Structure 1
Amino acid sequence: MTVRTVPARALAAAGAVAVLLAGLVGCASAEDDKDPEHRSFSLPGKTLTIDSDDSALEIVAGGRAADGRIEVTRWFSGSVTLGKDPEVSWRMTDDRLVLRMRCSGVIADCSARHRIEVPRGVAVTVLDDDGSVRASGFRDPLNIRTKDGSLHVTDSTGPLELRTDDGSVRAEVSSRRVDARTGDGSVRLTLGAVPDRVRARSGDGSVSVTVPEAAYKLTTSTGDGSVRADVRRDDASPHVLDVRTEDGSITVRTAN
């Protein structure tokens, strides 16, 4: 396991501490790291689980990754006053990539971002406690779950399962099977190929699904909001769209 420690930022005087405590603190950005770290990890099989506690993630199928290895780049910026120095760590255990950040103190301000390049032919599961997730280029199954953060998937054809407790879900893909859900946020799906099954759910937010011209078995439901559905319907169709929200509008349309 590799651990990177960043020295705590010292304040010049006690008065400065009082000013910072009274003000709003939270300006760290991983983009401030102009010298990101890079590491290659061996992958023993054809599945990968990415386990992250507090980081924005960008996951790409292909790129520099070769069979049996994944490539990870890490950006980190952070400082802690009156607490332990912040730390970030990464390790690979079997087929599980574990990414961790420790940042706590009276004034703690940290930000991390990871870009993970995965070989083609690998099914990926992402478990992220707090952070946005972007993914692209997947032909194989992709399963993303985050407790707090937005999800955005592009340029993919493999089956997708997307979950967030709090955040928006967006996908511009040609996947045949898509299951997208959020507890609080909007869902926007644009399909480039006629799907076999799409499930789109929001607990609190609008849901929009755009699909190619075809006949669909369509189910819609909203607790509070309008429904606009402009696709051709056929209850015997093998192409199923199931679109629901508890509070928000629903739009299902055919791509122009």
Structure 2
Amino acid sequence: MTTRKTVWCALTVLAAAVLSGCSDASKAAPVSRTFTFSGRTLNVRAHDTPADLVATDRKDIKVTLWFDVHGTNPQSSQTLDGNTLDLNAGCSGWADCSARFRVEVPREVRVLRDGRTTDLRGLPG
């Protein structure tokens, strides 16, 4: 077998092994982060990652991420810049990943999802 064929076979086996286990965010350990916020409107951008937006009796914003990755290059970030909360979670390369966010906001804050008004789910369960 040529070196090229050997490398191709090895990569195929590796890809099958990496992607054979489907990722599932519901099985991931949650990681939380809080942000001080004194604004009246919050714009949440989750970049196509599921994000539950919940009105609570909090004074700050709490972001919880469930992120399960099979493979390499997981990347996640949560940043608050002014009144925009930017949420990112994903992976690249030979990987399968699943992510979900939960954002708890003070009741008196108006919440937008990607610049559009959205409904909140109420008290956390």
Pairing 1:35-114 to 2, within 5 Å after superposition: 35-63=29-57, 65-66=58-59, 69-80=60-71, 85-105=73-93, 107-114=94-101
Q: Which has more radius of gyration?
A: 1
Superimposed CA distance per residue, residues 181-203 of structure 1 (whole angstroms, 9 cap, x where no aligned partner): xxxxxxxxxxxxxxxxxxxxxxx
AA in 1 matched with 2:45: D
- Partner Cα separation in structure 1 for residue 37 and residue 92 of structure 2: 32
Asked if structure 2 preserves the Cα contact closer than 8 Å seen for 1:25 and 1:109, the reply is no
Distance 1:127 1:26 in 2: 32
- The structure whose residues are more often strand, as a share, is 1
Distance 2:120 2:36 in 1: 25
Q: Which runs of 5 or more structure 2 residues have no equivalent in the other structure?
A: 1-8
* Counterpart secondary structure, 2:95: strand
Over the matched positions of the two proteins, sequence identity in percent amounts to 37
In structure 2, what is the Cα distance between the partners aligned to 1:153 and 1:48?
Answer: 12
Query: How many Å separate the matches in 2 of 1:154 and 1:50?
Result: 15
TM-score with structure 1 setting the length? 0.39
Aligned to 1:31, the other structure's residue is in SS state helix
- The size of the alignment, in residue pairs, is 112
Does the 8 A contact of 2:44 with 2:85 survive in 1? yes
Q: Which residue identity does 1:76 align to in structure 2?
A: F
Name the residue aligned to 1:32.
27
Deviation of 1:73 after TM superposition, in Å, equals: 1.0
Larger RCO: 1 or 2 (CA < 8 Å, sep 6+): 2
Deviation at 1:94, TM superposition (A): 0.8
Counting only pairs closer than 5 Å after superposition, residues 224-239 of structure 1 correspond to structure 2 as: none
| AA matched with 1:56 | P
Name structure 1 gaps, 5 residues minimum. 1-12, 129-141, 145-151, 156-256
AA paired with 1:46?
A: R
Higher helix share: 2
Q: Once superposed, which parts of structure 1, at least 4 consecutive aligned residues long, lie more than 6 Å away?
A: none
Instruction: Name the residue aligned to 2:4.
Output: none
Separation (CA, whole Å) in 2 of partners of 1:36 and 1:154? 19
TM (norm. structure 2) is: 0.74
